[in-house]
Amino acid sequence: MIVERAYASKPLDDAADWPWSVPCVAELLANGLRFTAPVTFLVGENGSGKSTLVEALAEGFGLDSWGSSHEWRYVGPRPKSQLGERIRFDAASGRGRRMLSNWSARQGFFLRAETAMDALKRESFDPESASHGEGFLAVFREKFQRPGLYVMDEPEAALSFQSCLELMGHIDQLAKNGGQVICATHSPLLTALPNADIIEVGDHGLRRTTWDDLALVDHWRRYLTDPRLYLRHILD
C-alpha cells in the first residue's frame, strides 16, 4: 500500500458551506479516513459526496482533477478544489513515504467517467481507435501497472458486464503488483472483489461494511429476482 490515512484541516471560515457540510467530508475533517486494504471502494447514492471525496483525494496526491496520470500536472481546465488543497496523507510503507516526500517519485492516475476521453488523448491514446469502454480498459492495460495511487470515479459507467469483469481482474493484479486503488462506484460486480475494503457513503458519513450488507447489492438482488417489485412504482 501507498497511503494508510487521509485527513484534512477544517477551514477557518464557511465551515457550514459546501463541501464542508457534506457528511462524508465532515467526517473526513473530524476523524480522517483510514485505508486498511490495497483496494478501497466508496459506495453511495448520487449526491452522497463520494465523487467529491475521491476527486479531492486525487488532487491531494497531485493528480489532475480533470483526469490523467501524475506526469500531467494540472493541465486540465479545472483548478484544484478547496478540499483537495487541504488533503494530506500518512504513508503506509517506505515506498509511500518516498512518494509523499518527493514529487518526482509519485506514481498514479485519476480516471473519471466524464473526462476519460480527454485523459486518454493526453496519454497519447487515440480515442477513435476504440469504443469508450475499450478506451477505459486500454488505460488499465497500458498505464495501471506500476506501484502508485490509482483513483477512479465510477469507471464502470462505460463498461459491459464482461468488461467489468476484466476491469476487476486489472484492479486485482494492480494491487498484487504494489498499487493502491481508491474507487467510487455503483457497481455490485466490482465491489465483490475479494479482500477489498468497502465504505458506504451517505447521510451517516462514512461506514465500513461488507458486500452482502450493501444496500445496492440488496436492491439488485431483488430487482433481478422480480423487476415488477420496482417497476410498478415507476410505470403505473
pLDDT in tens, 165-216: 999 999 999 999 999 999 999 999 999 999 999 999 999 999 999 999 999 9
pLDDT of residue 168: 94
- How many angstroms separate the CA atoms of 166 and 138, rounded? 11
Mention every residue, 6+ apart, whose C-beta is less than 8 A from residue 61.
3, 70, 87, 89, 106, 108, 149, 151
pLDDT in tens, 107-136: 888 887 666 666 666 655 565 555 666 767
pLDDT of residue 62: 87
Q: Are 4 and 34 in contact (CB under 8 A)?
A: yes
pLDDT of residue 158: 78
Other beta carbons less than 10 A from residue 46's beta carbon: 8
Encoded amino acid at 96, one letter? G
- How many angstroms separate the CA atoms of 147 and 1, rounded? 8
pLDDT of residue 36: 96
Asked whether the predicted pLDDT for residue 70 surpasses 70, the reply is no
Angle CA 118–66–72, to nearest 5: 80
Asked whether the predicted pLDDT for residue 71 surpasses 90, the reply is no
Encoded amino acid at 148, one letter? G
Asked whether the predicted pLDDT for residue 77 surpasses 60, the reply is no
More confident position, 85 or 76: 85
Asked whether the predicted pLDDT for residue 142 surpasses 90, the reply is no
What's the order of all strands across the beta sheet hosting 180-185?
68-69, 108-112, 149-153, 180-185, 39-43, 197-202, 205-209
pLDDT band at 80; cut points 50, 70, 90:
confident
Encoded amino acid at 8, one letter? A
Strands 68-69 and 87-91: unpaired
Asked whether the predicted pLDDT for residue 89 surpasses 80, the reply is yes
- How many angstroms separate the CA atoms of 232 and 119, rounded? 41
Q: Are 178 and 150 in contact (CB under 8 A)?
A: no
Average pLDDT score over the chain? 86
Q: Are 190 and 183 in contact (CB under 8 A)?
A: yes
pLDDT of residue 234: 84
Closest CA to 52 of 92, 8, 13, 108: 8
Class of the 3-211 domain?
alpha beta
The alpha carbon of 165 is separated from its chain's Cα centroid by a whole number of angstroms, namely: 17
Asked whether the predicted pLDDT for residue 60 surpasses 60, the reply is yes
Strands 39-43 and 197-202: parallel
- How many angstroms separate the CA atoms of 193 and 37, rounded? 12
- How many angstroms separate the CA atoms of 218 and 229, rounded? 13
- How many angstroms separate the CA atoms of 16 and 6, rounded? 21
pLDDT of residue 130: 56
pTM over 0.75: yes
pLDDT of residue 106: 85
pLDDT of residue 204: 93
